[in-house]
A and B are shown apart, each in its own frame.
Chain A
Amino acid sequence: MSAPLPGPVMVAAGCGGTGRELEPFCGDDGLDGLHVVTRSITLDARSGGPGPRVVEVPGGLVNAVGLPNPGLEHFLATELPWLVRAGARVLVSIAGATMGEYADLARRLARAPGVAGLEVNVGAPDDVGAGLYEVREPFHSASVIAAVRREFASDRPVLAKLRPDVSRIVEGARSCHEAGATAVVIGNAVPAAFPDGRAGGLSGPAVAPIALRCVAEVRRAHPDVPTIGCGGVRDLASANAYLDAGARAVQVGTALLHDPTTVARLRATLRTTAHLPGPEETP
């Protein structure tokens, strides 16, 4: 049994708050039926990094937020039930320090009511994901995906969120797909530096051409590997660029920080343009 692919428009990890803050900007439907990827959840609570966590640069934002989250227990007790009640299709982004942690997270989330799927954060820029399982090589990501897939229901999607590194993405996408990833999300923030030299990740429109190239490369080499475009999606044109390159869905991230209504507008537009294969049409 294959898991359905989420989409066509999703909220990217780390850009939707806890969901509650996004809801007022999602029109009459609110979060109902919307695929929301949560910010990355870790087993234990993390308070996040020191400020400034986000700095504006031409074409994007450099960020090192440090994965602040209340930890799995608190998330399961408070944030997840709220999202489920709001009607969101919740994909929980997970991050762990070890393969065992990823597996633990997957096992616990598999039992939690209302979890539509998982997104495995295996591509956080170095240092930003300080304390996370180090994913240097494609086989590292693949082994994490395999560990997660073993613990999580096979009829629900597991997405692998990878760094948009064009020299690695083809092998990374293929190995994650072989390891059981339903689709590969391309991409995460690009390793970058703050103006003061601190390590961070670049996201926003500046990343779009890079992620687009990665989507196209994966499509060319492995047309059977479903991809989800993420990076600089802010309107129909930027979403269609990914879809035309072969992506099956898109995630909206940084654009929400500029205009929190972006997801609702894009959802409404795509509904009427019927450009995308709906989730039900995907294999």
Chain B
Amino acid sequence: MADERRRVAGPVHVEGEVVATKRVGGYRHLTLTAPGLPERFRAGTFVAVSVAGHIARRPLWIHRVRASSAFGPTLDVVVQVRGSGTAWLAAQPVGTRVAVTGPLGRPFALPKDPVACLLVGEGYAAAPLFPLAERLRERGCGVSLVVSAPDEAGLLSALEARRSVRSVTVLTADGSVGQRGRVPDVVDDLVARSDADIVYAAGPTAVLASVAAAAERAGSWSQVAVEVPTPCGTGLCHGCALPVVGEDGVDRVVRGCTEGPVVRGDRVRWDALGAGS
């Protein structure tokens, strides 16, 4: 029945609680309870969180889900302070109650076969690649992970991910950790070295565009998690325009939160998004 399906698969809007908060590099990691939400999570989906005094929601990538903990099922999100809303969120102590909606959006599509996969993430937006790596490993896929940032403070730690991936490459623009460089400059080499059949990417638009183009050149599939300004996150407002080319070759504008955030890299009209590749 449709009702049953909705209860199992659809997003929920619940009151969550901050049960842990930790500063990691330039970001704030929050662990939240949100009844019913972790169980529905799939890598690439996100949550929309209410922020005191604001109408628009704050979309946050889900970095990790724990099926059980002292607090029951929890989810981790990564907050980068960008304005008064995210500043409020990052400052909340344990015990703060927040309205959480999710999981929202289309997740990363997983291959049926155990193929080689390259995951490229930059900054806080790399968050959904970590649970993705675990899912891929469960399917027997060989995973190469690239985490990138302008500097060390912008990197998400790949320490824990090392268990689930074949190789980790750390890339910083200033060379403070790992290899010096930017994704667009080295992406062709990364794709070639990993011999990936599928390339997954999460990060700023310019990074996604370069990864999608490199995958195309190498004859690989790509899946990218696109960030566009998302006022509600639920698909209700049509505010998060994402220009794509449909399967039929026709230009369309879809909702980044509902038809995205994960889309095929070769379907995004990067120039219309303001990122020449």
Given A48-B253, A52-B229 in contact, is the A21-B234 Cβ separation under 8 Å? yes
Is residue A174 contacting chain B, with contact meaning CB distance below 8 A?
no
Selected from B2, B10, B99, B238, the residue in CB contact (under 8 A) with A65 is B238
B-side interface size class? 20 to 34
User: What chain A residues lie within 8 Å of B252 (beta carbons)?
Assistant: 47
User: What chain A residues lie within 8 Å of B251 (beta carbons)?
Assistant: 47
Is residue A63 contacting chain B, with contact meaning CB distance below 8 A?
yes
Closest chain B residue, CB of each to CB of A68: B238
10 residue pairs of the A-B complex, CB under 8 angstroms, read A18-B235, A49-B241, A52-B239, A56-B56, A61-B56, A86-B2, A256-B236, A257-B56, A257-B236, A260-B13
User: Do the beta carbons of A68 and B253 come within 8 Å of each other?
Assistant: yes
Beta-carbon contacts under 8 Å, B214-250 to A: 228-229, 231-232, 234-241
Is residue A81 contacting chain B, with contact meaning CB distance below 8 A?
no
Is residue B55 contacting chain A, with contact meaning CB distance below 8 A?
yes
Is residue B45 contacting chain A, with contact meaning CB distance below 8 A?
no
Contact with A along B11-26 (1 / 0, CB 8 A): 1110000000000000
User: Do the beta carbons of B236 and A61 come within 8 Å of each other?
Assistant: no
User: What chain A residues lie within 8 Å of B11 (beta carbons)?
Assistant: 24-25
Is residue B57 contacting chain A, with contact meaning CB distance below 8 A?
yes
User: What chain B residues lie within 8 Å of A259 (beta carbons)?
Assistant: 13, 50, 99
Closest chain A residue, CB of each to CB of B255: A17
User: Do the beta carbons of A30 and B3 come within 8 Å of each other?
Assistant: yes
Is residue B54 contacting chain A, with contact meaning CB distance below 8 A?
yes
A-side interface size class? 35 or more
User: What chain B residues lie within 8 Å of A21 (beta carbons)?
Assistant: 234-236, 258
User: Do the beta carbons of A51 and B231 come within 8 Å of each other?
Assistant: no
Is residue A119 contacting chain B, with contact meaning CB distance below 8 A?
no
> How many contacts A-B (CB < 8 Å)?
103
Closest chain B residue, CB of each to CB of A70: B252
Closest chain B residue, CB of each to CB of A254: B55
Distance of B183 from chain A, by nearest CB (Å):
23
Is residue A60 contacting chain B, with contact meaning CB distance below 8 A?
yes
Distance of B228 from chain A, by nearest CB (Å):
7
Q: Report the separation of the CA atoms of residues A54 and B237 in the bound assembly, to the nearest whole angstrom.
A: 8
User: What chain A residues lie within 8 Å of B172 (beta carbons)?
Assistant: none
User: What chain A residues lie within 8 Å of B10 (beta carbons)?
Assistant: 23-24
User: What chain B residues lie within 8 Å of A30 (beta carbons)?
Assistant: 2-3, 6
Beta-carbon contacts under 8 Å, A106-164 to B: none
Beta-carbon contacts under 8 Å, A70-86 to B: 86
User: Do the beta carbons of A47 and B253 come within 8 Å of each other?
Assistant: yes
User: Do the beta carbons of A54 and B253 come within 8 Å of each other?
Assistant: no
Distance of B60 from chain A, by nearest CB (Å):
16
Closest chain A residue, CB of each to CB of B6: A24
User: What chain B residues lie within 8 Å of A61 (beta carbons)?
Assistant: 55-56, 231
User: Do the beta carbons of A17 and B234 come within 8 Å of each other?
Assistant: yes
Is residue B101 contacting chain A, with contact meaning CB distance below 8 A?
yes
Q: Report the separation of the CA atoms of residues A204 and B231 in the bound assembly, to the nearest whole angstrom.
A: 13
Q: Report the separation of the CA atoms of residues A15 and B238 in the bound assembly, to the nearest whole angstrom.
A: 8
Interface centre among B57, B229, B238, B240 (most CB of A within 10 A): B238
User: Do the beta carbons of B55 and A204 come within 8 Å of each other?
Assistant: yes
Given A21-B258, A24-B11, A51-B228 in contact, is the A257-B238 Cβ separation under 8 Å? no
Distance of A71 from chain B, by nearest CB (Å):
12
User: Do the beta carbons of B237 and A48 come within 8 Å of each other?
Assistant: no
Q: Report the separation of the CA atoms of residues A188 and B258 in the bound assembly, to the nearest whole angstrom.
A: 25
Q: Report the separation of the CA atoms of residues A52 and B228 in the bound assembly, to the nearest whole angstrom.
A: 9
Closest chain A residue, CB of each to CB of B10: A24
User: Do the beta carbons of A50 and B236 come within 8 Å of each other?
Assistant: no
User: Do the beta carbons of A257 and B237 come within 8 Å of each other?
Assistant: yes
Q: Report the separation of the CA atoms of residues A18 and B258 in the bound assembly, to the nearest whole angstrom.
A: 11
Distance of A212 from chain B, by nearest CB (Å):
18
User: What chain A residues lie within 8 Å of B3 (beta carbons)?
Assistant: 28, 30
